[in-house]
Amino acid sequence: MILASPSIRTSAPPGTLNLDLIRKYAIPGPRYTSYPAATEFTADFDAAAALAAIVADNTRPTPASGATAVRPLSLYVHLPFCESLCWYCGCNTIITRARGAADAYLDDLEREIRLTLVRLDPARPVTQIHLGGGTPTFLTAGQIDRLGTMLRRNFLVSADAEIGAEIDPRHLADDQVAALARFGLNRASLGVQDTDASVQLAIHRVQPHALNVSAAARLRAIGVTSLNLDLIYGLPLQTADSLARTLDDVLALSPERLSLFSYAHVPWLKPAQRIFEDRGQLPGPAQKLALFALAHARLADAGYVDIGLDHFARPGDELARARHTGGLQRNFQGYSTRAGASLYSFGLSAISTTTDTYRQNHKTLDAYRGALVAGRLPVERGLALTDEDKCRRTLVMRIMCERRLDFAALARETGIDVAADYAPELASLSDLVADGIVVLDAQGLRVTELGAPLLRVVAMRFDAHFAPAATARRHALAV
Ligand code: SF4
């Protein structure tokens, strides 16, 4: 890794980080898992609007065909239960040990799927399924079987569908692995976070590394061909040495993908995080940035490709290949392949995406279940995109996924004349150009290797909704 000075250098090799530039530009901002960001969703987008959006989406062509081929579906199922709270957690979870809670929740999911299918074209193929949480492996083997049957009975799941789940290695019995095999699992994401025992004690998540090793081996044995491991930097008591040991541990498992998340300290939203402040255990900003630099360098040395934001993949993995073939997309799980599918999400707080809309389900179980019992889709809020939103979404997502705007290609494929229609936005990039973060010429805009950790800072310049002062407490830092 090279730590460059902030002079104009645009041909830096992969793995290059400039910490001065990161310090200068890393302001809080959206992560662009959607555009506009979920903070812009409003309550006037209701269940009736959702049903209309499903009907409209049935007739939208796939971007790849440009014709009238049915648009595929990517299904996400949110399973919110966890046995105990990890104190760093920012997710929407329900802490319980009662497995019966999941039976009632599966009833809810079945109702939600039935209400969706009233309007959904049954010929639309499902090319992706992802189980997220919470802890999907909170479900017993029988409950996993029930969910699999529910999805396959109601949807046309393609034979080559990507089927993935977030796995907690602390809760993965052999009968659950067998049920995941019947489910068709071929992708898995293990929550590791850190393998150091004192860090694990501090975050209230004790997980001996032997559990990670065992989970990885058993999942590979049932046909998981792409294994992702989740890590977090900036956790309490984490040091350069402990993070280096964690990286050694996880790299020995040869995962196809790695996610390196920045710990988001938001105690006003997640009060359990206050304990880290009370105990004085959190690394300071400079130490946290050094941890990021250490991990980034180690992953580059190990041959992983920086996909963007927190995601790394081996060069042969589909995620790394998709970056160069236009198949990469951002959605609410981060970066994903199979761009062009509509995301239909089920469960508490789940967010769905059609070509023209976003919608999010209720976040409390009472409100979610209440809507379903009343026979309504459990939509809490959403957004119908304007034509202007859609143009800006195209620009933001190309920056996030392809790291460039090719003006001629955009005009040809979407009719957007970037130079004419977004002249003020392009002019606003002058500081980023001067610092070597982007290259801008008559052909287009390109984010350089130095700019790679600041992708979303570039995207923010095209965000009509972004106001730094208003968003400081709603979004995390860019790095
Ligand atoms: S297992 Fe995951 S979702 Fe559950 S509390 Fe821990 S971090 Fe949060």
Residues paired with 329 in a beta bridge: 336
Is 191 a pocket residue for ligand 1 (Cβ < 6 Å)? yes
| Residue 120 Cβ contacting ligand 1 at under 6 Å | no
- 156 close to ligand 1 (CB < 6 Angstrom): no
In this structure, the residue with its CA closest to atom 3 of ligand 1 is 134
DSSP bridge partners of 228: 189, 257
Report the pLDDT value the prediction gives residue 473, as an integer from 0 to 100: 44
Helix, strand, coil share of the chain (percent; to 5)? 40, 20, 40
Contact 382, 57 (CB under 8 A): no
pTM of the model: 0.91
Q: How far apart are CA 143 and CA 188, in angstroms?
A: 18
Ligand 1, residue 88: give the atom nearest the CA: 7
- Name which of 478, 463, 166, 446 is nearest 332 in CA terms: 166
Per-residue tokens: 191: 């929550």
- Taking alpha carbons only, the member of 470, 471, 473 closest to residue 265 is 473
| Tokens, residue 465 | 């909704």
Quick check: CB of 137 below 6 Å from ligand 1?
no
Q: Which helix (H) or strand (E) holds 78?
A: strand 73-79
Q: Report the nearest atom of ligand 1 relative to the CA of 133.
A: 3
Is 168 near ligand 1, meaning CB less than 6 Å away? yes
Q: What is the pLDDT of residues 426-446, one digit of tens each?
A: 999 999 999 999 999 999 999
Q: Rounded to the nearest whole angstrom, what is the distance from the C-alpha of residue 342 to the centroid of ligand 1?
A: 27
Rounded to the nearest angstrom, the distance between the alpha carbon of 476 and the centre of ligand 1 is 19
CA of 133 to the centre of ligand 1 (A): 8
Is any atom of ligand 1 closer than 6 Å to the C-beta of 93? yes
Q: Which atom of ligand 1 is nearest to the CA of 85?
A: 5
Residue 173 tokens, joined: 């019995």
Query: For a pocket test of ligand 1, which of 92, 93, 192 has the largest count of ligand atoms closer than 8 A to its C-beta?
Result: 93
Q: Is the CB of 207 under 6 A from ligand 1?
A: no
CA of 83 to the centre of ligand 1 (A): 9
What is the atom index within ligand 1 of the atom nearest the CA of 205? 6
Residue 350's alpha-carbon distances to 76, 192, 305, 389, 433, in angstroms, are 8, 23, 29, 22, 38
80 lines ligand 1 (CB under 6 A): no
Distance between CA atoms of residues 297 and 177, nearest Å: 34
pLDDT of residue 262: 93
Is the separation of the CB atoms in 204 and 233 below 8 Å?
no
Could you tell me which of 265, 193, 183, 267 has the C-alpha nearest to residue 219? 183
Residues of the chain with pLDDT under 70: 1-16, 61-68, 467-479
Instruction: Give, for 260, the enclosing helix (H) or strand (E).
Output: strand 257-262
Q: Ligand 1 centre and the CA of 85: distance in Å?
A: 6
* Cα(272) to centroid(ligand 1), Å: 12
User: Which one of 81, 83, 85, 211 would you pick to mutate in the ligand 1 pocket, going by the greatest count of ligand atoms within 8 A of its CB?
Assistant: 85
Write out the two tokens for 203: 């975050």
* Ligand 1 atom at minimum distance from 93 CA: 3
Domains of the chain, each with CATH number or no CATH? 19-32+386-469 (1.10.10.920), 38-384 (3.80.30.20)
Nearest CA, atom 6, ligand 1: 86
Closest CA to 73 of 115, 121, 126: 126
- Of 417, 396, 397, 393, the C-alpha closest to 407 is 417
